[in-house]
Structure 1
Amino acid sequence: MERPLLVYTTFPNEETALAIGEALVREQLAACVNILPGMRSVYAWKGAVERGEEVVAILKSREGLADALGAALKARHPYETPIVLHLPVSGADPGTLAWLLAETGGSPPDGA
């Protein structure tokens, strides 16, 4: 059975996150994108320590779409090197998993 996947990424602003998130959901690469505005970041970039304001996005998908989702995200992302972290999920509520698979074109779990 296919397992859920969470993908963590950041964006420069809420509008960009919403636009890219909606495109990924419409393409069934993600079932949902949670956007959390108001994040402040301190990060190393090209030998310097930078500060900035960003927006966090958590994409809910399935492991079988990891490569396609990552490629689509990077193709649309405005950052030179976007953060794309795959966070494997050890389990999920059966109803949540059935919804996630249905919305991303996956096979429903046994018994659903």
Structure 2
Amino acid sequence: MVKKYIIVQTHTNKKQVCEDISRSLIEKKMAACVNIYPAVLSLYRYNSEVVEDNEYLIHVKTIADKFNEIRKIIERLHNYETPEIISLEILEGNEKYLKWIQDEID
């Protein structure tokens, strides 16, 4: 069966939250790799006001079968009341890299 590869994305304004989420996902073999990008400027509406915040962006490299478990882990460890947790499908990629993702999760 061909696996569907995805990137799960979330943001937070706390570096420690990023590290806790990332470490948990890697240790539980939910992800092969997690990238943390610092200094993302986010503008969003919250409680009827426009908010500007410096955040960290997290990209989780994984397979679609793991999404629900990953979502639960992020929700449990995240500091936001309503965190962004979205899945982006990887349509194409380096076959060796995608196999590595699969091997690290299995």
Give the structure-1-normalised TM-score. Answer: 0.88
Q: Which stretches of structure 1, 4 residues or more, deviate above 4 A after TM superposition?
A: none
Partner residue, 1:58: 59
Deviation readout 1:30-54 (Å, 9 max, x if unpaired): 1111001111211011211111111
Unaligned runs of 5+ in 1: 106-112
Partner residue, 1:86: 87
Percent same amino acid among aligned pairs?
A: 24
Partner residue, 1:49: 50
Partner residue, 1:2: 3
Unaligned runs of 5+ in 2: none
The DSSP-based 3-state class of the residue aligned with 1:53 is strand
Q: Give the alignment of 1:1-112 within 5 angstroms.
A: 1-105=2-106
Deviation readout 1:54-105 (Å, 9 max, x if unpaired): 1011110101111111111111111100101110111221111111011111
CA–CA distance in structure 1, aligned partners of residues 29 and 64 of structure 2: 13
Would the aligned equivalents of 2:30 and 2:70 in 1 still touch at CA under 8 Å?
yes
Would the aligned equivalents of 2:21 and 2:73 in 1 still touch at CA under 8 Å?
no
Give the structure-2-normalised TM-score. Answer: 0.93
User: Number of residues paired by the alignment?
Assistant: 105
Would the aligned equivalents of 1:43 and 1:51 in 2 still touch at CA under 8 Å?
yes
The DSSP-based 3-state class of the residue aligned with 2:8 is strand
Letter in 1 for 2:52: R
